[in-house]
Structure 1
Amino acid sequence: MSKQGKVALVVGAQGVIGRNLIDHLSTRDDWQVIGLSRRGGTDEGRVQHIAVDLLDIDDTRAKLGKLDQVTHVFYAAYQDRSSWAELVPPNVAMLTNVLDAIEAVAPRLEHISLMQGYKVYGGHLGPFKTPARETDAAFMPPEFMHDQQRLLEQRQQGRAWSWSAIRPAVVGGFALGNPMNLALAIAVYASISKELGLPLRFPGKPGAYDRLLEMTDAGLLARATVWAATEPRCANQAFNITNGDLFRWNEMWPFIADYFGLELAPPLPLSLDTVMADKEPLWHAMGERHGLAPHAYAEVSSWRFADFVFSWDYDMFGDGSKARRYGFHEHVETKAMFARLFDDFRRRKIIP
């Protein structure tokens, strides 16, 4: 790695957020990029990949011990668990291990960016105050995102580096094998519905069809994340980052049905995690018939996450005006985002 310019360490490089962040940084001549993930990746141009187990302290120190030129850490790693309380130890431990390893060797470290979400506001627990604002009070723990931010706040005291906390809504982007990929789950659900000659039904809870929510385009999120990490006024601040528009599934679902050439039928509550569990043989048959890329069914299935999002029978949106006041003015129309992502899935032969 060059001793000149900025060097980004993207932690969680194979997820929706990390992949798009690397794509964005790789277009900028003043950045070199190191991506960390459990799977690793293929080095290309100014992008280097490292496979590492961040829960293993020794492996983390060994793999990160020579990264002395890192100037910016973009932390988007996540370990899933079956309960909210169980999420805390591994997700705090991974961030701690990264900080311990990098601070020990990187004297040029300028900024640490922490990826969060609306769990900060309790959006995963039930109805909460909307629009959510960055100044909203915390709630009764456990919540690993609160613990991670407190870790950064306490650790930053007396240090030369600064931090930022980025809070997107549901992120729309491309990644395979990711447990939180709503757009891909919708695309696969719609494709299988079409294969079976079924109309498209919204499978969520009664009431979720009519509630207000928002999303965050992964490309827009990447640009906002780098902006916050390099704009001095954003130091030690949190920002909600969203597309800038609100929608209801009752208007988005007809649009999705039309995109896939499907009839629309009334909503019917379904657990996608349950009803899609036996569809793997069908998916493989579709792959052969339509010439799809040879990806495992598990790589394109985010059913638990889709069920989670479709269970929100309450409004789910935040106030994005703080980022605009600080100078970030980009926006994306969510319908256009869905259409672009579906087009991309087809181009990559992920769906028919």
Structure 2
Amino acid sequence: MALKKTKQDQKGASTKRVAVIFGVTGLVGRELARKLTTKYSWKVYGIARREDKLFLKKTSNYHFISCDLLCKLDAQKKLSSLEDVTHIFWVTWASQYQLDTAECCDQNREMMSNALDAILPKAESLKHFSLQTGMKHYVPYNLRNIDIEFYDEDCPRASIGYNFYYVLEDLLKERLSAKKVDWSVQRPGLITGCSNRTLYNFMGCIAVYGSICKHLNLPFLFGGSKECWEETWIDVSDARLVAEQHIWASSDDQVTSINGQAFNTINGACFTWKEIWPVIGKKLGLEVPEDIFSSEFLYSKAMADKAGVWREIVEKKGLLETEMDELANWMFLDQLFRCPFKLLGTREKADRLGFRMRYTEASESISYWIDSMRDAKLIP
């Protein structure tokens, strides 16, 4: 389904806008860089530890900076000179520690603090900071008994457990209020996009899995819980939509102030894996039998010895050289399809305040990104 235009499409480029994208090699970071440089003609600084091989259409207004944000000295050296920045997009996170731990909270706070310490003193034109977190804002990992099916942005924070999303929101409120810089939070669900630098890469998982199934003539099984298979269980967030909502939230022409507000960033259409799994399989070129659900099947077990098979596929098909674990995280896929609680939200708030862009079908979104991965020669 085609995207609807927003005010940003008609607005001219008379005002110079300069963005810093932290996490530019990720699913949403790549889309932000692509849209801002080619569609909106912003100047963009892309920040990551390693440059992205997939960002092929280089433009004069895109500048990559390699930086280790967990190193305060490196952040100061690489970022303190970015005095012309008007907008910051934070679409990264530190993943060394388990998500629901104090160590994870501390490390993510440190990473953002280092970036803010380097940029804020000289960035006098900074107008907006757009933070990306996620729908897990509503459900900490160690909390299991929640009687809410659809989350809205007014749901209170959980009173127990650790969630680094809360830490980052509090840090922005603390650091930016004195600077009179606006900020907002975008909360996507399961992101569909194209990247080989993303730890929780759903598209990479299913595309690699499907490619291996086709290569070895294996059944394209859905391994998970019956509830996840048969019920509407999670929201999909297309990376194109998430990027556009970041830009919308950061625009200068908001009718209503959104400073300090959060927005669910989801496609907004319900689906079940039972409905769309056969569609995904056919898109990947597979024959999909009727009996494809298995509560016992574990991707982490079935794919544990398939790294060599993936190398064979890459060589045979002339693909971009990648290791299997650069695209696929099998533990993530096992956890996703056995998630003990629903992660469904409403996007009424963003719609009410004027954001109109959306995709109606999860299967259309997934199909688009399979084609994108093929065009990037990540999958056959």
The alignment's TM-score, normalised by the length of structure 1, stands at 0.94
Contact 2:87 2:126 in 1 (8 A): yes
Contact 1:220 1:330 in 2 (8 A): yes
Contact 2:219 2:292 in 1 (8 A): no
Report Cα offsets for 1:224-255 as digits up to 9, x if no partner: 11100115422221000111201111101121
Larger CA deviation: 98-107 vs 251-260: 251-260
Deviating beyond 6 angstroms after TM superposition, the runs of 4 or more aligned structure 1 residues are none
Equivalent in 12, 23, 47 of residue 34 of structure 2: 23
* Mapped partners of 1:338, 1:119: distance in 2: 21
Report Cα offsets for 1:53-106 as digits up to 9, x if no partner: 100011101101110000111011111134221311111111111111111110
Report Cα offsets for 1:196-249 as digits up to 9, x if no partner: 212211012332212312201001110111100115422221000111201111
C-alpha displacement of 1:30: 4.5
Larger CA deviation: 243-252 vs 205-214: 205-214
C-alpha displacement of 1:123: 6.0
Question: 1:92 maps to which residue?
Answer: 109
Query: Is residue 2:141 matched to residue 1:113?
Result: no
Question: 2:334 maps to which residue?
Answer: 307
Larger CA deviation: 86-95 vs 323-332: 86-95
Question: 1:133 maps to which residue?
Answer: 152
Query: Is residue 2:253 matched to residue 1:229?
Result: no
Query: Is residue 2:304 matched to residue 1:277?
Result: yes
**Aligned residue type for 2:341:** Y
Contact 1:211 1:315 in 2 (8 A): no
Question: 1:62 maps to which residue?
Answer: 77
Question: 1:187 maps to which residue?
Answer: 207
**Counterparts of 1:180-329 in structure 2 under 5 Å?**
180-212=200-232, 213-230=234-251, 231-232=253-254, 233-259=257-283, 260-264=285-289, 265-268=291-294, 269-329=296-356
**Structure 1 residues not aligned, in runs of 5+:** none
* Mapped partners of 1:181, 1:68: distance in 2: 33
C-alpha RMSD of the superposition = 1.8
Question: 2:3 maps to which residue?
Answer: none
C-alpha displacement of 1:158: 3.0
Question: 2:370 maps to which residue?
Answer: 342
Contact 2:136 2:343 in 1 (8 A): no
Contact 2:268 2:346 in 1 (8 A): no
**Aligned residue type for 2:189:** A
C-alpha displacement of 1:44: 3.2
* Mapped partners of 1:30, 1:253: distance in 2: 38
Report Cα offsets for 1:252-273 as digits up to 9, x if no partner: 1121122232223331233322
**Aligned residue type for 1:345:** M
* Mapped partners of 2:230, 2:182: distance in 1: 41
* Mapped partners of 2:86, 2:346: distance in 1: 30
* Mapped partners of 2:197, 2:24: distance in 1: 12
C-alpha distance 30-289 of structure 1, shift in aligned 2 (>3 A)? closer
Corresponding residue SS for 2:112: helix
* Mapped partners of 2:136, 2:286: distance in 1: 35
**Structure 2 residues not aligned, in runs of 5+:** 1-13
C-alpha distance 294-253 of structure 1, shift in aligned 2 (>3 A)? same
Larger CA deviation: 169-178 vs 273-282: 273-282
The alignment covers a number of residue pairs equal to 350
Contact 1:70 1:106 in 2 (8 A): yes
Contact 1:110 1:162 in 2 (8 A): yes
Report Cα offsets for 1:304-332 as digits up to 9, x if no partner: 22222111243221010000001001111
Question: 1:151 maps to which residue?
Answer: 171
C-alpha displacement of 1:124: 4.1
C-alpha distance 29-210 of structure 1, shift in aligned 2 (>3 A)? closer
Question: 1:122 maps to which residue?
Answer: 139
Contact 1:229 1:235 in 2 (8 A): no
The alignment's TM-score, normalised by the length of structure 2, stands at 0.87
Query: Is residue 2:196 matched to residue 1:176?
Result: yes
**Aligned residue type for 2:204:** L
Contact 1:123 1:316 in 2 (8 A): no
C-alpha displacement of 1:130: 2.2
Equivalent in 71, 79, 95 of residue 86 of structure 2: 71
Query: Is residue 2:21 matched to residue 1:10?
Result: yes
Question: 2:68 maps to which residue?
Answer: 53
Report Cα offsets for 1:283-309 as digits up to 9, x if no partner: 111222223222222222222222221
* Mapped partners of 1:99, 1:280: distance in 2: 39
Question: 1:164 maps to which residue?
Answer: 184
